[in-house]
Structure 1
Amino acid sequence: MTVLAGGVVATFAVTGSVGVPLAFPIVAAALALFAVGYAAMSRHVVNAGVFYAYVSQGLGGALGVGASFVALLAYNAIQIGLYGLFGAALGGFVEANGGPALAWWVWALAALALVAILGLLRVDLNAKVLAVLLIAEVAAVVLFDFGALANPAGGAITFDGLDPANLFGPAIGGVLAFTVAAFAGFESAGDYAEEAKDPRRTVARALYVAIAITGVLYALSAWALTVGAGPDNVVAQAQDPAAGLPFSLMAAHFGDTVANIANLLLLTSVFAALLSFHNTVARYLFAAGREKVLPAALARTGRRTSAPFVGSLLQTILAVIVVAVFAALERDPVLELFTWLSYVSAVGLLVLMVGTSVAVLAYLNRHSGAETLWQRTIAPVLATLALGAITVMTIVNSDAMLGAEADSPLRYILPGLVGVAVVLGALWGLVLRSAQPAVYDRIGKGGPAE
């Protein structure tokens, strides 16, 4: 629901492209290529900080530390940015239903406190919470798809959203950037490898299932939105907050009660993402702390839950600071906090996946095993090329992604943060190699496969 009501609607609004639905299978195909080598690598390296470990093993410790800094930036950015979306959405929902009109940051901080508590609990409990929320939101999205396709604008189903001519234009980079952000988190199966009973099989299975299901569901829902609103009207309605997409269509087809329930499920969807990304950040901090790349205190875990509680607390503190700064400066929670940080996350994740694909290629061709030529060479090369092209288009077309003017400094500052993270991380890795060679030699080896 976060992707449909947040990402897809925003993509139509900002880019003005009707070809959004077609972007999902294209990106899904690139991610599927990436997943081949990524899953094969999981048979050799098991670590709670997957990108960091894979790049370290494939390209060396210095670049591995650079990858860890980028991963921490990317996952913190998307997690904290979502507090802006959640605060604004919950505030609007409560006020629309007769509740008090409170500032967005009040609701954001309330969610932040609950995420902090759940982040300190066991992974299996968190998985149960996420599963319940996921089932409910998928049901709502499927219901929306059915209603939109059964009641097409103009009386006939159209396929304009799947027409390549409507995607391959000046806004394609922005569309692809939003699409990549929508898939953020699909790779998180690897972050839980150390807690899985059989990581070698579990990681691969989880990756392929996640890409296939989300790719189909996202593409179908985006297309249903173009059918329900009409290809000639979907962009204009997405740009008009009063139109209330997609909930206005749900209200028209199923009534206000169902629309309100769907709106509520948007909130649970965003909350589920907040919790998931919080746990991902905590595990990256745990991995870096365990290997003493960052302070060893980050590797401390709870006695009863084994959750990385120091990393969890640190992520919570950072989120509080960022939300407080945006609130104090009276910045817009969606157009600025959510949009800006989502873009940083998208660029960071793309850079990580390109680097990881190269690392997988290098590692698997140095360590011959049961992998086929497709797994160790062909798929990683194709993934590098595909994801590299998407990365370039995302940066070049950042004005479309950010809704900014062509000469806006944001076009350079936000992607520049990712570059700074790479450089600082790599430099710190070189410092470790010189000053603490024993620590440097352990980089990326915190949880090796046996």
Structure 2
Amino acid sequence: MSSSHRTSHSGLAKRRLGVVHLVFFTVAASAPLTVLGGGITTAFLVTGNIGTPISFIVLAAVLAIFAVGYAAMSRYVSNAGAFYSYLANGMGRAAGVSGSFVALTAYNAINFGLYGLFGAIFGNFMADRFGIAVTWWVWSFAAMALIGLLGVLRVDLNAKVLAVLLILECVVVAVFDIVAVANPAGGSVSFAGLNPANLFVPGFGAVLALGIACFAGFESAAIYSEEVIDPRRTVARASYIAVAFTGAFYALSAWALSVVHGPDNVGGVIAEQGAGAAFGPLGQYAGALVADLANVLFITSVFAALLSFHNGVARYLFALGRERVLPDFLGRTGTRSAAPVAGSVTQSLLAFAVVLLFAATDRDPVVDLFTWFSGLAAVGIVLLMTGTSIAVVGYFRNRQTEETVWQRLVAPALSSILLATVLFFLVYNFDALLAPTNPGYLTWLLPGLVGVAAVAGLIWGVMLRRIRPDVYAGIGRSAVHPVTEDEAGYVPVAG
């Protein structure tokens, strides 16, 4: 390891990120072009629900309600472990450890799956454009090496890389939206996709299950909360901006896709063309150059999501290592970069092992690796958000602060109910997230892994209380408190 990346326990970089940086990290994790070419097309194909576009508005509204309590608590708890620290401070230390195990399972899972998707689409691109035909995992490992390098560099450098990639892909998606609406199927623009009556029909739960996966990465703002310029405001503002932007952008793009192909025909076109249903109109109406650029940016979109989730996992591992919930070497950061070097390297090694396993067993990188782990991640993330909403209520219960009843009680209680409902539909319709060729037992095995992680974390948290009480006492407590307890009118809680 170079001298510039020597490790220490000096902590993460302070005051390097602003609202715009956090928005880039959060939206990049959701990957707009990947959502258009993958998430939206899959939702239309699997469910046949022509109200799919409006589902993104519904889900964004749920997340906006969640963000009220989440943002309020972010003023008092700022930790690279994000949901882990929220749960520990609002529901108890053992619950925090349980949540951290779920988070590590979910965010590692989406990272593993994205490596499969990246290897497949980049491999196809290289074969089609340059005649270089090698197996998918070669490209996955190449991306892994680059991600690993970026993961140990300064966080603001990562933000700049994501910013460039994100702006370019958003421009392409916007061009698609324009040309799609300007060239409607049958010569007239249909607003059927924006009619709520077309969403709330039998099977709409599957639409929610697929749609929520498109918002993965929503926690990113809080994960970087120790590195922001103004902890009191930055996380809250970035969260609101990100959910508003992604909700509106995805709804518009899904509606545009239904317009250009026709609401009744869009599922059939996607079944025949796959991601080409989104990129085809670009070539037809905007020119081959734009279509080629879209394909390139589809690749960089996946890469940007990989980088964002890699950074998120590295910071979770850092937070848990710093508090000795996991081995303390994970709490080491680079002397000059202040990046969570040990966490970054650990995440890369885990990804290497999983991709190697799928390559050795000749599994399909998209049908198996990507779909399996994407579904698993979606369950874990919604479970985490549900628990966090409950934790917000618990945190403010015996504290006298300036937050309103809406912020400290009503909104988080409402969001916990709404998110629990989404979680129910997600698990109940989990088969909608899997390819028809996948084994049937995966419909309970993959969500079950999230439950196993939650229980394992809870058991470990309880064990720490008995065998390492000093560690247990510090769980979630290394958080920075942007607003001091005196300023907030803090009232101590017994125990």
Name the residue aligned to 1:2: 34
Give the TM-score of the pair, scaled to structure 1. 0.98
Q: Is the 8 A contact 2:371 2:435 kept in 1?
A: no
- Whether 1:330 aligns to 2:362 is yes
**Aligned twin of 2:401:** 369
Letter in 2 for 1:438: D
Distance in 1 (alpha carbons) for counterparts of 2:35 and 2:44? 12
2:87 is the counterpart of 1:55: yes
1:440 to 472, 490, 493: 472
- Does 1:224 pair with 2:256? yes
Does residue 411 of the first structure (1) align with residue 411 of the second (2)?
A: no
Find 2:150's aligned residue among 102, 114, 118.
Answer: 118
SS at the partner of 1:318?
A: helix
> Over aligned residues, Cα RMSD in angstroms?
1.4
Can you list the C-alpha shifts for 1:131-173, whole angstroms capped at 9, x where unaligned?
A: 0001100000000000000000111100121223332234322
Q: How far apart, CA to CA, are the structure 1 residues paired with 2:206 and 2:337?
A: 41
Change in 2 beyond 3 A, CA 1:243/1:319:
closer
Tell me which residue corresponds to 1:166.
198
Q: Give the counterpart of 2:375 among 343, 355, 362.
A: 343
How far the C-alpha of 1:18 sits from its partner, in A, is 1.9
Counterpart code for 1:313: V
Which residue does 1:96 correspond to in 2? 128
Q: CA deviation at 1:261?
A: 0.4
Listed one character per residue, the Cα deviations across residues 379-413 of structure 1 (whole Å, up to 9, x for unaligned) are 00110011110000110111122244899111110
The question of 1:212 aligning with 2:244 is answered: yes
- Deviation of residue 116 (structure 1)? 0.4
Show CA shifts across 1:326-347 (max 9, x none). Answer: 1111111111111110101100
Partner of residue 15, structure 1? 47
Name 2:215's counterpart in structure 1. Answer: 183
Equivalent pair of 1:399/1:405 in contact (CA under 8 Å):
no
Q: Which residue of 1 aligns with 2:425?
A: 393
Task: Give the secondary structure class of the aligned counterpart of 2:324.
Answer: coil
Cα distance in 1 for residues equivalent to 2:364 and 2:351: 16
Q: Give the stretch that moved more between structures: 242-251 or 72-81.
A: 242-251
Structure 2 Cα separation of the partners of residues 93 and 171 of structure 1: 35
The answer to whether the aligner puts 1:84 opposite 2:116 as a matched pair is yes
Residue 257 (str. 1) matches residue 283 (str. 2): no
Contact 1:302 1:308 (8 Å CA) reproduced: yes
What amino acid is aligned across from residue 288 of structure 2 in structure 1? D
Q: How many Å apart are 1:181 and its aligned residue?
A: 1.2
**1:242 Cα deviation from its structure 2 partner:** 6.3
Q: What is the CA-CA distance between 1:14 and the residue it aligns to?
A: 2.1
* Equivalent residue, structure 2, for 1:235: 267
Return the letter of the residue paired with 1:62.
A
Higher alpha-carbon deviation: 172-181 or 149-158: 172-181
Q: CA–CA distance in 2 between the matches of 1:294 and 1:448?
A: 20
Secondary structure of 2:148's aligned partner: helix
Corresponding letter in the other structure for 1:249? P
C-alpha distance in 2 between matches for 1:303 and 1:98? 41
Query: 5 Å matches for 1:292-307?
Result: 292-307=324-339
For 2:188, give the aligned amino acid: A
Conserved in 2, the CA contact under 8 Å of 1:326 and 1:337? yes
**Which amino acid letter does the alignment assign opposite residue 146 of structure 2?**
L
Alpha-carbon distance change, 78 to 407 in structure 1, aligned in 2, over 3 angstroms: closer
- Which deviates the most, 65-74 or 187-196? 187-196
The 5 Å alignment of 1:349-360 reads: 349-360=381-392
2-structure distance, mates of 1:75, 1:358: 21
Q: Distance in 2 between matches of 1:366 and 1:422?
A: 26
**Residues of 2 paired with 1:13 and 1:59: CA distance?**
40
1:82 positional shift = 0.6
Distance in 1 (alpha carbons) for counterparts of 2:201 and 2:368: 26
Out of 205, 209, 224, which is 1:192 matched to? 224
Question: Residue 463 of structure 2 is aligned with which of 409, 426, 431?
Answer: 431
Please report how far the alpha carbon of residue 101 of structure 1 lies from its aligned counterpart in structure 2 after TM superposition.
1.3
Q: What residue number does 1:421 align with? A: 453
| 1:324 alignment partner AA | L
Aligned pairs for 1:22-41 (under 5 A) are: 22-41=54-73
C-alpha contact (below 8 Å) 1:175/1:401 kept by paired residues: no
Note the residue ranges of structure 2 that are not aligned, 5 or more in a row: 1-32, 485-495
Q: Counterparts of 1:69 and 1:242 in 2: how far apart (Å)?
A: 35
Is the contact made by 2:38 and 2:275 (CA closer than 8 Å) also made in structure 1? no
Q: Distance in 2 between the 1:266 and 1:411 partners? A: 29
CA contact (8 A) 1:399 1:406 kept: no
Alpha-carbon distance in 1 for matches of 2:458, 2:355:
29
Q: State how far apart, in whole Å, the 2-side matches of 1:170 and 1:328 are.
A: 41
Query: What letter matches 2:141 in structure 1?
Result: L
Please give the alpha-carbon distance, in whole angstroms, between the structure 2 residues aligned to 1:103 and 1:165. 45
Change in 2 beyond 3 A, CA 1:406/1:96 = closer
Q: How many residues align?
A: 450
Identity %: 56
The alpha carbon displacement at 1:29 in A equals 0.4
Q: Aligned letter for 1:422?
A: A
Distance 1:342 1:240 in 2: 23
Q: Secondary structure at the match of 1:232?
A: coil
Asked whether the equivalents of residues 318 and 330 of structure 2 are also in contact (C-alpha less than 8 Å), the reply is: yes
CA, structure 1 residues 406+312, in 2 after alignment: closer, same or farther (shift >3 Å)?
closer
- Between the aligned partners of 2:360 and 2:214, the Cα distance in structure 1 is 29
Q: Secondary structure at the match of 1:384?
A: helix
